[in-house]
Chain A
Amino acid sequence: MESIYNLGLLIVLAPLAGAIVAGLFGGTIGRKGAHSVTTLGVAISFVLSAVVFKQVVIDKVGILNQTVYTWLVSEGIRFEVGFLIDQLTAMMMVVVTFVSLMVHIYTIGYMSHDEENWPAGSRAGTNSYQRFFSYISLFTFSMLVLVMANNFMQLFFGWEAVGLVSYLLIGFWSTRESAVYANLKAFLVNRVGDFGFLLGIGAVLMTFNSLDYSAVFSTAELHKNLTFSIFPGSEWNMMTVIGILLFIGAMGKSAQVPLHVWLPDSMEGPTPISALIHAATMVTAGIFMVARMSPLYELSETALSFILIIGAITALFMGLLGLIQNDIKRVVAYSTLSQLGYMTVALGASAYAAGVFHLMTHAFFKALLFLGAGSVIIAMHHDQDMRNMGGLRKYMPITWITSLIGSLALIGTPFFAGFYSKDSIIMAVGESSIPGSGFAFAAVLAGVFITALYSFRMYFMVFHGKERMDHHTREHLHETPWVVTLPLVLLAIPSVVIGAIFVMDMPFGNFFGEAIYVAAEHDVLATVGESIHGWWGMALHGFLTPAFWLAAGGVFTAWMLHRKGLDIAVVMKERFGFVYKILDNKYWADEIYAKLFAAGGRGLGNGLWKVGDVALIDGLMVNGSARVVGVLSGITRRLQTGYLYHYAFAMIVGLLALFSLFIFR
């Protein structure tokens, strides 16, 4: 155990050290120094995480739950920083550090000409390359703090720290108005989620008098009938209150409807971080959190039902938006939203293990798709519009093949990683009896068709068909350097095989042990698992399921349209103008929020300020009473010289008089 603790410390601190060195001494150590030190830090983290994974998951040496230091003690309640390293954490550590390592390597290529993105003479642009590496290492540190936490307080620390780095990275190109708008929006929308999350922590502390996971989870059962009065006269089950409040935090971080609006805009950030933060790791923090809290969520079907419905809405309706996007990154972004919805649905159906399994496979293939998109963007000289692409497979064979693998994994092609995780979720939801599971089942099935349709629309638009780019760009088209393609290849491998390797252990086995708790009456995965006999059989059977045929139908539709030279977005615009309008405006969520909250908040602020502070308090009370005094004292105007020191003097005299009154009374 001691060795795992020490490894844990090293795993966390290595990226932090890299971030500090690259951030504070970037100018001194130069570009090479910065990417070497940060990549080395994350590489150490990855290797050691793999060691921890082996010890905890394979060798089963036990679970580490240890305090690092005490943050503060108040009323005997200890707020601590510590590690809980069990199977769930170990898996997350490997995924986070692996994707992060890939992104570090990739960034060496992607950001190599970053100075071109800054206005001439900008001093912020001089070390931007080093700063970028510092940020992504800092992100890795923060994410590790989040997943390795053994208490709610530290979870919140990591939660907010990844939000901070996300903010810094979305707005990395700080000259771009759209980028600094997007990062503010991302931070504020996340803060709305954190608002619920913090209240949830308050509810946990009130109920359990501790924020320590083990103390809370081990006594959760005792409090399952506790009620809490939010409005006088309406009693809520405490577990429902805790569950929903904490999940509001997850809705922010994992971009669930209606707090999804920040994620598409976050694509303003450089592509490596879209892959790392806004696809593979940070946005899955909410999924991880709910899985971690499974002992609490299992006690409230209301909270589970809430999660299920929110997830289903996100999975279906965000996927639809992906159909009509023309920006390559936005397609992948809406796809991420939709896939996060799938994971959330799994959580709501008590299939936590399937949700986390999908989190893992998704981390690989979605990071792959994003980095593939980034590779295309490099080749296209930072043009992201798919209408200007086409036929790229000739020029970029590695990017082409790896992106195809990523797409096949995403749509759930049997034998690919995404198939195993997505099918587990669909089957689990089918078995679920949580209220709303019927709707959720329909939504995730329909989502399969949509996923296939937008994925292969993108695939055909980018890699096949006519070369629509301008002459200059076409002449310079070529495969990206090895630092870019190597991560693609290394991510493509798990995108194919990782599902088959873990499917019998993770959703349908006892991979997570005590880390995830499912009440017997909710255990849909156990029911589904009875009919699953090995990865081979599951994949073969997969060809017979409706999900497969829906996916195949999606690919076929995309292919047919592509062959006819038609684009879904254009077709929809012409034939279903009304639907297109809805999708094109993204259900008007941005407009509604901008009017209601942003403009409304400013309006309220202005009203309170101008009416409350300026007119009423200052105008009427302060200056008004001053005027009244002024009028009254018109009689005694001779005494008023207008010099402040006279007034001060008069006050002192008055005080002395008061004193003398006491002395000589």
Chain B
Amino acid sequence: MFADLPLLSLVIWVPIVGGLLVLLVGSGSSGQNARVLSLLTALLTFALSLPLYSGFDNASAQMQFVELVPWIASFNVNYHLGVDGISMPLILLTSFTTVLVVIAGWDVIKFKPAQYMAAFLIMEGLMVGVFAALDAMLFYVFWEAMLIPMFIVIGVWGGDNRVYATLKFFLYTFLGSVFMLVALIYLYFQANSFSILDYHLLPLGLNVQIWIFLAFLLAFAVKVPMWPVHTWLPDAHVQAPTGGSVILAAIMLKLGAYGFLRFSLPITPDASHNLDWLMIGLSLIAVAYIGFVALVQQDMKKLIAYSSISHMGFVTLGLFIPWTIAESSGSFAGATMGMEGGVVQMISHGFVSGAMFLCVGVMYDRMHSRQIADYGGVVHVMPRFAAFMVLFAMANAGLPGTAGFVGEFMVILSAFKANFWIAFVAATTLILGAGYTLWMVKRVLFGEITNDKVATLQDINGREFLILSTLALAVLFFGLYPAPLLEVMDATVRHLVEHIAVSKVPLDAM
């Protein structure tokens, strides 16, 4: 019944149109209408995204649910959509997270609630657009447009220092994207097409590939974010409202990694090979260096932001490990596991970091402080909340049985095949991750109540319970049974590894 519907278009445009409608409804009658309409839109979008999973052919590495309509014919720009086993789960993650964000902001956001909800709905459509676009120009439009609602969310509903944070966020990401645009335009002249799939097959000399790779790297590394272009993230998180932080951590960071998967690796495999030492090095810096930095943060949101950067190091490590494996063992066996681990980490980090930011949000709504030192003994007044937070903290520390474990486990196993020391540094996350997460848990949840304000806190209400329990189920489900996620992506990732194993440098140029 869904086969005939342009599902991807619907998942993109329903929330955007819904968001515009919410704007029209406005914040009148204290915004209740806007909230209900937003929730309905988010739920409808989520429902529309489900057939993408149920109708997905796991065995195929080809693009599915493809839509192709000419857009700007003179430039061969097309409205070209499609998903594979990597982008489809990310779209589901986006539509799922948006529902939670709408519920999370329900009666917390008192200032212009309609505009707040609309921003998230429009952002949802744009982010899905990024994941679904198969035309480089279309991708670029969604990629840049997506920044605007996030920019507004932080700038309007953010904390005291929001202007500095928004500027930093915007300039950082925009600066990176400009280089990507240049690379895309170059590729257009080479292929006479904006089709990303055409780029995948385009032979390119090594030097050209390296330039293109570096241009992409600037755009994507900022988004991931990778060290040393990561400093915008802690500031953005600290200033963003809870919903903004959730989307930022759960979805936006994935866009950078997705860019590597969709652009850098398949379009410039030889450059990726050539510069994999750089990527692996930066990934390990993210895991270890940022892990230590996270340890000493006094602000909970900063701590989780740094922990996000550290966890994203596993994604980039998994994506760029294949050649090291091939060099040490003589074959690419084991590379798929690392790359799949990276993709799993993208999804699981979406749940876990989203949940962690929601937990901080729950406390912030009550205390208006993110400082660890202002808390202590929260378990005595909010035992239910504490149970959730301990679960998510354990997931953040990569405890087996939670989603946080799966990706890290696969990447570390894969890295061991490549090089003992890469695995060694990556595995320090076991200690560092537990260190920074549980030390925060100890200082916030446990001990005696020292702050009188903490003594008056109320435990989570039904709405918060709903959000946190939904995420808890997701975290446990993917920790105990990640097989469905792997089945969806397996064919695609295998195909990608086969693709990057073959040089694209033309024979005469070698």
Q: Which residues of A contact B (CB under 8 A)?
A: 69-75, 77, 118-119, 121-127, 153, 156-157, 160-161, 164, 167-168, 171, 174-175, 177, 180-181, 183-184, 187-188, 191-192, 194-195, 198-199, 201-203, 205-206, 228, 230, 601-602, 604-606, 608-609, 612-613, 617-618, 621-622, 644, 648, 651, 658, 662-663
Q: Is the CB of A119 within 8 A of B448?
A: yes
CB of B203 closer than 8 Å to a CB of A: no
In the assembled complex, the Cα of A206 lies from the Cα of B418 at a distance in Å of 10
Chain A residue contacts of B280, Cβ below 8 A: none
- Contact check: which of B151, B228, B410, B486 meets A617 at CB < 8 Å? B228
Chain A residue contacts of B185, Cβ below 8 A: 662
CB of B382 closer than 8 Å to a CB of A: yes
Chain A residue contacts of B412, Cβ below 8 A: 198-199, 202
Chain B residue contacts of A651, Cβ below 8 A: 174
- Contact check: which of A181, A195, A230, A606 meets B296 at CB < 8 Å? A606
CB distance from A602 to the nearest CB of B (A): 6
> Nearest residue in B to A194 (C-beta to C-beta)?
B430
Instruction: Given A123-B459, A609-B293, A618-B231, decide whether A230 and B382 contact each other with a Cβ distance below 8 A.
Output: no
In the assembled complex, the Cα of A122 lies from the Cα of B455 at a distance in Å of 9
CB distance from A661 to the nearest CB of B (A): 10
CB distance from B450 to the nearest CB of A (A): 11
Which 5 A-B pairs rank lowest in CB-CB distance, beginning with the nearest?
A: A202-B416, A605-B292, A122-B380, A605-B296, A180-B446
Q: Is the CB of B381 within 8 A of A206?
A: no
Q: Is the CB of A75 within 8 A of B333?
A: yes
Q: Is the CB of B295 within 8 A of A612?
A: no
> Nearest residue in B to A196 (C-beta to C-beta)?
B427
Chain B residue contacts of A119, Cβ below 8 A: 380, 448-449
Q: Is the CB of B430 within 8 A of A198?
A: yes
In the assembled complex, the Cα of A161 lies from the Cα of B409 at a distance in Å of 15
- 5 additional A-B pairs beyond A70-B483, A199-B420, A602-B296, beta carbons within 8 Å, are A73-B483, A124-B380, A202-B423, A622-B172, A644-B155
CB distance from B26 to the nearest CB of A (A): 21
Instruction: Given A184-B442, A191-B434, A601-B292, decide whether A199 and B424 contact each other with a Cβ distance below 8 A.
Output: yes
Chain A residue contacts of B483, Cβ below 8 A: 70-73
CB of B269 closer than 8 Å to a CB of A: no
Q: Is the CB of A157 within 8 A of B401?
A: yes
Chain B residue contacts of A167, Cβ below 8 A: 438
Q: Is the CB of A206 within 8 A of B416?
A: yes
Q: Is the CB of B442 within 8 A of A605?
A: no
Chain A residue contacts of B399, Cβ below 8 A: 160-161, 164
Chain B residue contacts of A605, Cβ below 8 A: 292-296
Name, among B231, B333, B337, B485, the residue most crowded by chain A CB atoms within 10 Å (CB to CB): B231
Mark out the residues of chain B between 467 and 510 whose CB falls within 8 Å of any chain A CB in the assembled complex.
480-483, 485-487, 490
Instruction: Given A70-B483, A74-B337, A157-B401, decide whether A124 and B413 contact each other with a Cβ distance below 8 A.
Output: no
CB of B394 closer than 8 Å to a CB of A: yes
Instruction: Given A124-B380, A199-B424, A606-B296, decide whether A72 and B486 contact each other with a Cβ distance below 8 A.
Output: yes
Chain A residue contacts of B278, Cβ below 8 A: none
Chain A residue contacts of B148, Cβ below 8 A: 648
CB of B417 closer than 8 Å to a CB of A: yes
Q: Is the CB of B337 within 8 A of A77?
A: yes
CB of B400 closer than 8 Å to a CB of A: yes
Supply 12 A–B pairs (Cβ within 8 Å), ascending by A.
A71-B483, A74-B336, A123-B381, A125-B380, A160-B401, A174-B380, A175-B377, A195-B431, A201-B413, A613-B293, A617-B231, A644-B155
Chain A residue contacts of B167, Cβ below 8 A: 644
Chain B residue contacts of A157, Cβ below 8 A: 400-401
Chain B residue contacts of A168, Cβ below 8 A: 390
Q: Is the CB of A73 within 8 A of B486?
A: yes
CB distance from B433 to the nearest CB of A (A): 8
Mark out the residues of chain B between 19 and 48 whose CB falls within 8 Å of any chain A CB in the assembled complex.
none
Q: Is the CB of A612 within 8 A of B337?
A: no
> Nearest residue in B to A200 (C-beta to C-beta)?
B416
Q: Is the CB of B430 within 8 A of A191?
A: yes
> Nearest residue in A to B448 (C-beta to C-beta)?
A175
> Nearest residue in A to B391 (C-beta to C-beta)?
A164
Chain B residue contacts of A606, Cβ below 8 A: 296
In the assembled complex, the Cα of A233 lies from the Cα of B417 at a distance in Å of 18
CB distance from B447 to the nearest CB of A (A): 6
Instruction: Given A161-B401, A602-B295, A644-B166, decide whether A74 and B430 contact each other with a Cβ distance below 8 A.
Output: no
CB distance from A520 to the nearest CB of B (A): 32
Chain A residue contacts of B431, Cβ below 8 A: 188, 191-192, 195
In the assembled complex, the Cα of A157 lies from the Cα of B448 at a distance in Å of 32
Q: Is the CB of B413 within 8 A of A202?
A: yes
Q: Is the CB of B174 within 8 A of A180?
A: no
CB of B200 closer than 8 Å to a CB of A: no
- Contact check: which of A69, A74, A123, A230 meets B486 at CB < 8 Å? A74
In the assembled complex, the Cα of A438 lies from the Cα of B333 at a distance in Å of 45
In the assembled complex, the Cα of A122 lies from the Cα of B379 at a distance in Å of 8
Chain B residue contacts of A126, Cβ below 8 A: 383
Chain B residue contacts of A199, Cβ below 8 A: 412, 416, 420, 423-424, 427
